[in-house]
Amino acid sequence: MCGIVGFNGKNKAVDILLDGLSKLEYRGYDSVGIAIKEKDIEIYKAKGKIVNLKEKIKDKELNGTCGIGHTRWATHGEPSEKNAHPHISNDGNVTLVHNGIIENYQELIEKLHKHGYTFYSDTDTEVLANLIDYYYKKYKMGPIDAINRTMVRVRGSYAIVVMFKEYPDELWVAKKDSPMIIGESKDGMYAASDVPAILKYTNTVYYINDMEAACLKKNKVVFYDLNGDVIKKESKKIDWDISSAEKEGYEHFMIKEIHEQPGVIEKTIHSFINDNKIVFNNIDRDELKKIDEVYIVACGSAYHVGVCAGYIIEDLSRVSVKVDIASEFRYRNPIFRKNEFVIIISQSGETADSLAALREAKKMGAKTLAVVNVVGSSIAREADYVLYTLAGPEIAVATTKAFSTQLIVMYLFAIELSRAKKQIKATEYKELIEEIKLLPDKTKYILDNEVKNIQKIGDKLSTFQDAFYIGRRLDYAIALEGSLKLKEVSYIHSEAYAAGELKHGTISLIEENTPVIGIISQEDIYEKTISNLVEVKSRGGYILTISPKKIDISKVSNYEIHIPETYKYFYPSLIVIPLQLLSYYISVSRGVDVDKPRNLAKSVTVE
Are 257 and 401 contacting, i.e. CB atoms less than 8 angstroms apart? yes
Q: What integer best gives the mean pLDDT of the chain?
A: 89
Widest CA span in the chain? 80
602 is catalytic: yes
pLDDT tens digit string along 154-179?
A: 998 899 999 999 999 999 999 988 88
Give the integer Cα–Cα distance in Å for 119 and 121: 6
Confidence of residue 509 (pLDDT cuts 50, 70, 90): low
pLDDT at 444: 96
- Asked if residues 537 and 368 have their Cβ atoms less than 8 Å apart, the reply is no
- Which of 2, 66, 299, 308 is catalytic? The answer is 2
Q: What is the pLDDT of residue 583?
A: 93
Q: 366-386: string of b/e by CB count within 10 Å (b at 16+)?
A: bbbbbbbbbbbbbbbebbbbb
Does position 463 have pLDDT exceeding 70, yes or no?
yes
pLDDT band at 527 (very low <50, low <70, confident <90, very high): confident
CA dihedral of residues 379, 383, 385, 386 (deg, nearest 10)? 0
CA distance 43 to 554: 63
- Any residues with CB less than 8 A from the CB of 273 and at least 6 apart, and which? 279, 412, 433, 436, 437
Q: Which domains does the chain have, with CATH numbers?
A: 3-238 (3.60.20.10), 247-437 (3.40.50.10490), 449-591 (3.40.50.10490)
For the stretch 121-151, pLDDT in tens is: 989 899 999 999 999 999 888 999 999 999 9
Please identify which of the residues 45, 176, 401, 602 carries the catalytic annotation.
602
Q: Count CB-CB contacts under 10 A for residue 165.
A: 16
Instruction: Report pLDDT for 562.
Output: 94
In this prediction, residue 34 carries a pLDDT of 96
Half-sphere exposure of residue 362: CA atoms within 13 angstroms, side-chain side: 16
Task: Say how far apart CA 563 and CA 571 lie, in whole Å.
Answer: 9
pLDDT above 90: residue 333: no
Q: Which residues contact 354 (CB under 8 A, 6 or more apart)?
A: 297, 298, 299, 302, 326, 344, 345, 346, 379
- Band the pLDDT of 244: cuts 50, 70, 90: low
| pLDDT at 453 exceeding the cut of 80 | yes
Q: What is the mean pLDDT of residues 302-323?
A: 95
3-state SS, residue 208: coil
Give me the pLDDT at residue 327, please. Answer: 87
601 pLDDT more than 60: no
* C-alpha distance from residue 317 to each of 259, 314, 344, 367, 391 (Å): 33, 6, 19, 18, 27
Which pLDDT does position 557 carry in this prediction? 83
Predicted pLDDT at 224: 96
Q: From CA 464, how far away is CA 515, in angstroms rounded?
A: 8
Residue in 290, 160, 167, 260 with CA at minimum distance from that of residue 212 = 160
Instruction: Render pLDDT for 562-572 as a digit per residue (tens, 0 to 9).
Output: 999 999 999 99
Within 10 angstroms of residue 127's Cβ, the number of other Cβ atoms is: 26
